[in-house]
Amino acid sequence: MSGYLAVFVVVLIFVVIFQIAKASEYVSILKGEKKSREQSNRINGFLMIVFLVLGLIGVWWCHDLLEGRMLGESASVQGDGIDQLIRVTFIITMIVFVATQALLFWFAFKYQEKEGKTAFYFPHNNKLEVIWTVIPAIVLTVLVAFGIRHWLRITSEAPKDAMIVEVTGKQFNWIVRYPGKDGQLGRKNFKNINNEDNPVGQDWTDNLNTDDVISPDLHIVVGKNVKLIIGSRDVVHDVGLSHFRLKMDAVPGIPTTLWFTPKFTTAEMRKRTGNPDFVYELSCDQMCGSGHYSMKANIIVETQEEYDKWIAAQPTQYAQAHPAPAGTPAPAADSTKTAAAPADTTGKKVAMAETAAKH
């Protein structure tokens, strides 16, 4: 019912506007075209000033209302620099916006049609063209240079102490793989992909795969550098880390990387935001199909002790893909040690037999 009412109201507004326009035409005919046009120009000129003032007040009110209420403070060290770049860009564009809009509306009021005044027309002005071409070019070049600097920073080689995590996208969820105690991820082959027990195609002949762990969530340690190795199983996805101000495409067959340093644990962010249900989110920022809207994963930022406890409790993907047969005895506690060879008593037995024969 509300939908029909909305359509009716819109149609009614168009009818009213149409009738006002027709009435204006009749008034123009009665008063004279010139006099009616001058009156319309005066009204429009006044409305231009009103729209200018109210529009700028509205822009400021929206900015004051929404500032800091969307994502809040950046949750990564690298994100602070990106936020600063966004603020600088916003200030520059805001100055240009206010200046150009103020001039636009003021000129519409000041230079409206008046008796005895004619417009001055010039087709070309080198000075103006240099000003409005060179200055914006310089400003944009500086902004792009700072943007490239931040981009190179997060896509450069990660510090040696960074923890490694692999993030693989597929329609429509994320697969997160962690290395075991060896700190290295095992080799993969797309031909080995199996949705039941090998979702990323691990090569079981590579011993580095035996302790790797797979999880649907991304666990990272606060204050510790983390390097993401990003890929895709099917179409182009995009790892969106909005709280950390980062994103990176997940491209089939072409691994991409980025690294960052988390600043706050999930528990700390719940206190800072006043939201007990707050959770960092890993979203897909690239339209990837009908289920794109649901493609997300939770990011848990925790202390080193919490992470160590969590990873120790996770079964390895190798163990899940190669379950031990029922009744198989547990392996020795330390299979790296070689059992001592049994003593050779053959010589002693021969010597005792010879001694007995002599007697």
Task: Give domain limits for the chain.
Answer: 35-114+125-155, 163-321
CA 177 vs. chain centroid, Å, equals 19
pLDDT computed for residue 1 by the predictor? 60
Q: Looking at residue 217, what is its pLDDT? A: 95
Q: For residue 299, what are its two tokens?
A: 């990011």
Query: What's residue 349's pLDDT?
Result: 40
> 282-295: per-residue pLDDT in tens?
999 999 999 999 99
Residue with tokens 């009204």: 43
- Spatial separation of the C-alpha atoms in residues 247 and 267, rounded to whole Å: 23
Decide: helix, strand or coil at residue 48.
Answer: helix
DSSP letter for each residue of 87-118: HHHHHHHHHHHHHHHHHHHHHHHHT---TT--
Q: Give the integer Cα–Cα distance in Å for 31 and 48.
A: 24
What is the pLDDT, as a whole number, of residue 142?
93
Residue 154 pLDDT: 92
Contacts with 171 (C-beta within 8 Å, 6 or more apart), sequence order? 234, 235, 288, 289, 291, 295
Render the burial of 90-120: b for 16+ CB within 10 Å, e for the rest. eeeeeeeeeeeeeeebeebbeebeeeeeeee
How far is Cα 117 from Cα 17, in angstroms, rounded to an integer?
31
Those residues of the chain that have pLDDT short of 70 are 1-3, 24-34, 36, 68-71, 326-359
Question: Is the CATH code 2.60.40.420 the one for domain 163-321?
Answer: yes
Measure the CA–CA gap between 39 and 42, rounded to whole angstroms. Answer: 5
Tell me what pLDDT residue 295 has. Answer: 95
